[in-house]
Chains A and B, each alone.
Chain A
Amino acid sequence: MSIKEQIREKLGSKVIDWYQHSSRRIYVSIKPKDIREVASLLFNELKLRFSIATGLDTPKGFEILYHFNFDKSGEIISLRVLLEDKKNPQIDSLATLFPAAEWIEREMWELLGINFIGHPNLKRLLLSDEWPEGKYPLRHQQ
């Protein structure tokens, strides 16, 4: 079974949307509440490599893309979640699943204002202490 087939089978009804953009770029939408389970499946069980996560401010909400790789085939499987509550965006942290997620969650927290529940070390990564609270440089409306 190809990695795509394995992922589809294991995720089952957790998949809200499955979009194959090109031969090695796949975007899978899931609900925010499922992120830990799905990420664990991809990282621990299927042994995909975590590249990075992208946080975006969109009119519909805060979107986070978690980019995983299956290096044997060169495919990038990006998990997409949408946090619709823009006043209080939050999602479970993946940092306790794998340390590779620690820094990027801190970065998304300070640049976008998304809270990562359960993160062991949620404090500023890039911005200086001088930087005012509540000001998020990557948010579109300020």
Chain B
Amino acid sequence: MNLKLKALTKSLWVFHAACSPCNNCDIEILDLLTPRYDVERFGMVLVGSVRHADVLLVTGVPNYKTKERLKKLYAQAPQPCLVIAVGNCACGRIMFKDSYNSPCAVDEIVPVSAYIPGCPPKPEAMISGVVKLINKLQGKK
């Protein structure tokens, strides 16, 4: 694994990119910043611009409007940028897969490095998912 990727796993700058979510995963992501979970002590910071992002947290089902947005965001993110699909909708669309307004799943738009399923995934599950990803990147088990 290259030096840059190793380095970025020390402090992750996270950009929240919602497709068409119900908001639950998004609120639980924000919850990670609050005192009970406080992910800032791990160096995880929510950033306001995709150009500073190490990680894209993608939530929700892509629809025709948001699929284009996601493509553009990923293109603007500096590489290497990891994409984490948070929530059942981002992982596999689940009950929305037959929707007339959903053309495809998230991993058909951008490469996904980690899937955190749940509806919504509990904050503990999200932390666990991110830790697993970091461990994998650092070559640990």
Interface of A with B (CB < 8 Å)?
Answer: 126-128, 130-131, 137
Contact = CB atoms under 8 A, between A and B. Distances in A.
A84 to B, nearest CB: 26
Contacts, number: 10
Number of contact residues on B: which range applies? under 10
A137 B64 contact: no
A128 B100 contact: no
Main secondary structure of the interface of B (DSSP, over half): loop
B129 to A, nearest CB: 31
Given A128-B63, A137-B101, 8 more contacts: A126-B101, A127-B64, A127-B101, A128-B64, A128-B65, A130-B64, A131-B64, A137-B100
A89 to B, nearest CB: 20
Interface in B81-115: 100-101
Interface string B52-90: 000000000001110000000000000000000000000
Contacts of B100: 137
